[in-house]
Amino acid sequence: MAQIPEGARVFLGTGPTTPIHLVHALNDQRHRWRRLEIVMPMVQQPLPIFEHAGQPFSFVSTQASPALRSLWPTGHLQVLPTRFSDYAALCGPDGPLPCDVALVTVSPPAADGRVSLGVSVGSTVMPARSASLLIVQVNANVPYTFGAGELAMDEIDTFVKDDFDIVDTRASSGPPDDVVGRIADLAAEVILDGATIQFGIGTIPDAILGRLHGKRGLRVHSGLVTEACLDLFEAGVVEGVMVAAEVVTTDRMRSWVHRNPAVLMGPPALTHGAAALSGLERFVAVNSTVEVALDGSANSEMAAGEVISGPGGAPDFAFGAGLASGGRSILALRSTAARGAVSRIVRRIEPPSPVTLPSYLADVLITEHGRAEVRGLAGAARAEAIRNLADAPHRNALT
């Protein structure tokens, strides 16, 4: 840690493979600096350095999460809502947040001497390659994945070894209930043989993938790969190389992706960039959201007044689907929350909730009450089609 200069901007690779040994070392040696700025992608658990906000740490997160809750009142956290496709440009040498130092976790070296960023590549690869000082934590539990996350040993300035257990953060969600099953059936009808699919996380996207076992010739180009995707691969539904930026962290997934040429981990320009997505035939983006307004706009970042996430890849994939030949963007959600008391179909997205997806990206909207294809609908016709997706007790309030 003595190599880190005063006032440095330090990128911290977070998520399931946060280099926790390096985080503790940074925290223990905090007296070395008067100020360090920590730049982080999505954080999944509170970190010990959060207890010393302003002394010396200040924080910038590119995706909000509940794990940041303790930092909100300190005045030393800035949340910069960021599309995933912007990650590389944001922290690159010519971007607004160039990083002096990168702290990341990697796999053990392969026979050729290279290491891999493993399960978290898209959000980490640019700072890891462009920072003046790269400090890595080698962890035997991190799989070696092929693609943009492969680093030569001479790119690394300092490394330590710590085989901490990787938390299974996104395990299978179990069998869907009847509501989710109905939503999944309606969504699966839109995905045709030969489509290239992208999918988000959660019960609904997993259920939709579970309905695709009768399809043929599907390809995967997604922000992440999950166990539901692996099931399709093993069933022979998915063909070709799967392209992703992140991997769900379960024992099964870590074992499967390790040195597996069927998975290519890419940088944001490849996995989320408009130029790459526009060239995919029949690209279908499958995502969920928190609420949808009558004009088709959607909020995916706040629920019940609490910040739960950031834009992430949702705007990239919705936009990319509109560019692709035969592309479709599916937003699937339950029609209500709080056991039916709250409608998730709303008149408008009310501040402070942000508009994550503007109305011009709306295409296929699905709840358990039906499917509305609104891309060609305007004004009252669009509003009525979306209103019909609401639960019956809430429809009058949406007139």
Q: Report the C-alpha gap between 62 and 86 in whole angstroms.
A: 10
CA distances for 352 relative to 75, 296, 298, 303, 309, angstroms: 19, 18, 13, 11, 14
What distance in Å separates the CA atoms of residue 187 and residue 372, rounded to the nearest whole number?
11
Q: What is the pLDDT along the chain (399 residues), one digit of tens a residue?
A: 899 999 999 999 998 899 999 999 999 999 999 999 999 998 989 999 999 999 999 999 999 888 999 999 999 999 998 999 999 999 999 999 999 999 999 999 999 999 999 999 999 999 999 999 999 999 999 999 999 999 999 999 999 999 998 877 654 455 779 999 999 999 999 999 999 999 988 899 999 999 999 999 999 999 999 999 999 999 999 999 999 999 998 999 999 999 999 999 999 999 999 999 999 999 999 999 999 999 999 999 999 988 889 999 999 999 999 999 999 999 999 999 999 999 999 999 999 999 999 999 999 999 999 999 999 999 999 999 999 999 999 999 998
| Residue 22 burial (C-beta neighbours within 10 Å; 0-12, 13-18, 19+) | buried
Report yes or no on whether pTM surpasses 0.85. Answer: yes
Nearest CA to 32 among 7, 58, 65? 7
Strand bridging mode 283-287 / 342-343 = unpaired
Residue in 214, 195, 174, 42 with CA at minimum distance from that of residue 120: 42
Residue 47, judged by CB atoms within 10 A of its CB (0-12, 13-18, 19+), counts as buried
The per-type count for the chain, helices as H runs and strands as E runs, is: 12, 27
Q: Cα-flanking dihedrals φ and ψ of residue 395, to 5°?
A: -65, -40
Per-residue tokens: 309: 């996430």
In whole angstroms, give the CA distance from residue 267 to residue 91.
13
Q: Is 138 within 8 Å of 41 (Cβ atoms)?
A: no
